[in-house]
Amino acid sequence: MQPGQRSKEALEDLLPAGSVATVELDVQERDRYGRLLAYLYREDGLRINEELLRTGYAVVGVYPPNVAYVDRFRAIEDSARVAE
């Protein structure tokens, strides 16, 4: 199975179809390819972006001017690497 497929499945486990999530936007809503740039929160407060980083299913991508959580995300990603 490809890494992208595993990441997709991890996201589906965290947010199954029909789930309610809060979407937080930063400065710019979309990147130059039209992809939505957002932070996701589950109803119970779980930060989806952070959980995917923590479990190794995502890597930090920086899309200036959207940098609200870059330092936090990098710290989580670094911790996940050390824990491997």
Contact between 76 and 53 (Cβ < 8 Å): yes
pTM score over 0.85: yes
Check pLDDT > 90 for residue 3.
no
Give the type of residue at 62: V
Phi then psi for residue 62, to 5 deg, are: -110, 125
Question: Quick one: fold of 3-83?
Answer: OB fold (Dihydrolipoamide Acetyltransferase, E2P) (2.40.50)
> What is the pLDDT at residue 83?
82
